[in-house]
Chains A and B, each alone.
Chain A
Amino acid sequence: MTFLQDAFMQRALVAAILIGITAPAVGIYLVQRRQAIMGDGIGHVALTGVALGFLTGTNPVWMAVLVSSAGAVAMELVRARGRTQGDIALAMLFYGGMSGGVLLIHLSPNGSNANLLSYLFGSITTVSQEDVVVIGILAAVVVAVTVGLRRQLFAVCQDEEFARVTGLPVRLLNIVLAVTAAVTVTVAMRVVGLLLVSALMVVPVAAAQQLTRGFAATMAFAVAIGLTVTTSGTVYTYYVDVPSGATIVVMAIGVFLAVTALAAPLAKRRARRSAAPVSEEAECTLEPSRSRSPEDDVRV
């Protein structure tokens, strides 16, 4: 436990814990809506914000929050307007954000590709005292939204049309979710990097949902996985000189694979148990009156 005595390591661990909680907590809603890739898009746009921070001499984290929130709201508006050309519009946003970032960083006096790299792939050991404060505030907001509005966001991501008819402010909730996702991306970028942040939003959820039956349980399990990989990945980089972001994501994928291996026999057993009352007979027997079951309906 010698690593706990270093101040930079303490800061890194606090940041890792906050990210381990927030990223899966937001990611679960994106996965629920089958928008798992949205975190990636926000990450690209956030890069322009970081570069803008360097260019204007302001804090890159706050600037990234602003720019990526604007980008996330734009993506949400494109999504809500309908599917037509929506993916093209999103692609424009992805590429525009990335190229804008690279362009702006070269225009800024004290920016270079080296600075950008630490944001692209994360470098937890350079997390400053100020960063920890900013990350702490933002993480508190993210947890308040994702846990406090769980039922509302669940309903909106589950069935948007139904949610609108219950009278929920669906558009507002969608924008709140988009901004929360953007905030999470910027919170996590110092640790896992903008290119890998989406992995931490998606992979723990993908792993958790193989063993769970409910949404709340999936959320809790995904956060537990997130916490485990971010903290253990951070500690690992204390002993071995490797980038924290890549380490954490590889660990997350490792957990995903382990859970998958574990879940397969479990799912098989569960399926066998639920199928048991139906298939009493060992083989299929053709019976004239029962040759077609209602499930055979192939209407589209």
Chain B
Amino acid sequence: MTALMPGPRAEQETSVEPTRNGSGEPVISLRGATASLGARRVLRGVDLGVERGEVVALLGANGSGKSTTVRAVVGQVPLSGGELSLFGTPYRRFRQWRRIGYVPQRTTAASGVPATVREVVSSGRLSRGRLRPLRRADRAAVDRALELVGLADRAKDSVNALSGGQHQRVLIARALAGEPELLIMDEPMAGVDLAGQQVLAGTLREEVAEGTTVLLVLHELGALEPLIDRAVVLRDGCVVHDGAPPPATGQHALPGHDHVHPHAPEEPIRTGLLT
């Protein structure tokens, strides 16, 4: 696990921000997006642009529309208005799903029948070669994804035997198995303890160092804070902040923040008042 911790090289590369930004078309371009779930208007004109190599965090209180926004970006929530293009292609004509790795919001990677960690992670490889059998390169990519999240030794175990944080790591490995250029994650840190958060931060740092673009929904910046280039804060389906990540205090001060954290008690407590 120590091998996954951020090395000095990765540290350097993530700080060279300007060269990674501003090259060509945006990876994600969402303009004036509106969407409803039932009768409720969840998105009321959301603008979201993500450039190549950027790490963008979507923040906001529960029900602010952050999850709906990322689900709209991957086409799982239909837009009632606005425009979406991915890698410069309008959503309607977009077919290059292999370029995207998606981590949906889940509390478990298990289902009705036992499955090994490797079986679940391998399904992420289906984005490349949907109907052909697994080749050697596919197996190698699955191995690499398992190593990245530090679960290589659990590959043959049932996902039912894992802890909550390990489930999230399986889901992230599944997305990484497709070797995506764009990683979209919906609350990947939910229910993950501090040690697990640091493993995931290390994983993400390696991916970002290799040029992967990341859009992720977060409840709070936490262990990922140093990685985030830009934060987009939503409130009631509208973007209220788009720019530098707010300091932890500001984030905690968001309306509706429920102050329940998956933190180990060892973590320094930020009250938002004095720290």
Please list the residues of chain A having a beta carbon within 8 angstroms of any beta carbon in chain B.
Answer: 28, 31-34, 36, 149, 151-152, 154-155, 157-159, 161-169, 205, 209, 212-216, 218, 270, 274, 289-295, 297-299
CB distance from B2 to the nearest CB of A (A): 18
Which of B17-25, B26-34, B100-108, B144-152 is the interface stretch? Answer: B100-108
5 examples of A-B residue contacts, CB within 8 angstroms: A34-B112, A154-B119, A165-B75, A213-B116, A214-B156
Q: Is the CB of B119 within 8 A of A166?
A: no
B191 close to chain A: CB less than 8 A: yes
Q: Is the CB of A297 within 8 A of B260?
A: yes
Residue of B119, B131, B156 ringed by the most chain A CB atoms within 10 A: B119
From B76, B106, B114, A213 is in contact (CB under 8 Å) with B114
Chain B positions within 8 Å of A32 at CB level = 111-113
Starting from the known contacts A152-B131, A162-B174, A213-B156, 7 additional A-B residue pairs (CB-CB under 8 Å) come to A34-B111, A155-B123, A158-B120, A159-B109, A159-B111, A166-B130, A294-B195
CB distance from A25 to the nearest CB of B (A): 12
B193 close to chain A: CB less than 8 A: yes
Chain A positions within 8 Å of B104 at CB level = 159, 161-162, 165
Chain B positions within 8 Å of A154 at CB level = 115, 119, 123
Known contacts A166-B97, A214-B116; is A295 also within 8 Å of B75 by CB? no
CB distance from B146 to the nearest CB of A (A): 14
Q: Is the CB of A33 within 8 A of B265?
A: no
Q: Once bound together, how far apart are the Cα atoms of A76 and B192, in whole Å?
A: 35
Digit string of B225-254 for contact with A (CB within 8 Å is 1, else 0)?
000000000000000000000000000000
Q: Is the CB of A274 within 8 A of B161?
A: yes
Mostly, the B contact residues are loop
Known contacts A166-B126, A166-B127; is A214 also within 8 Å of B115 by CB? yes
Q: Is the CB of A299 within 8 A of B191?
A: yes
Q: Is the CB of A209 within 8 A of B113?
A: yes
Known contacts A155-B126, A162-B174; is A33 also within 8 Å of B158 by CB? no
B: number of interface residues (CB 8 Å): 53
Chain A positions within 8 Å of B98 at CB level = 166-167
From B74, B102, B195, B260, A299 is in contact (CB under 8 Å) with B260
B122 close to chain A: CB less than 8 A: yes
Q: Once bound together, how far apart are the Cα atoms of A291 and B264, in whole Å?
A: 10
Chain B positions within 8 Å of A298 at CB level = 260
Q: Is the CB of B113 within 8 A of A152?
A: no
CB distance from B117 to the nearest CB of A (A): 9
Chain B positions within 8 Å of A289 at CB level = 265-266
Q: Is the CB of A165 within 8 A of B119?
A: no
Chain B positions within 8 Å of A161 at CB level = 71, 76, 104
Q: Once bound together, how far apart are the Cα atoms of A294 and B196, in whole Å?
A: 10
Q: Once bound together, how far apart are the Cα atoms of A155 and B123, in whole Å?
A: 6
Chain B positions within 8 Å of A149 at CB level = 131
Q: Which residue of B lies closest to A299 (CB)?
A: B260
Q: Is the CB of B116 within 8 A of A215?
A: yes
Chain B positions within 8 Å of A213 at CB level = 114, 116, 156-158, 161
Chain A positions within 8 Å of B130 at CB level = 152, 166-169
CB distance from A299 to the nearest CB of B (A): 5
Q: Which residue of A lies closest to B127 (CB)?
A: A166
Known contacts A218-B113, A295-B164, A299-B260; is A165 also within 8 Å of B100 by CB? yes
Q: Is the CB of A168 within 8 A of B126?
A: yes
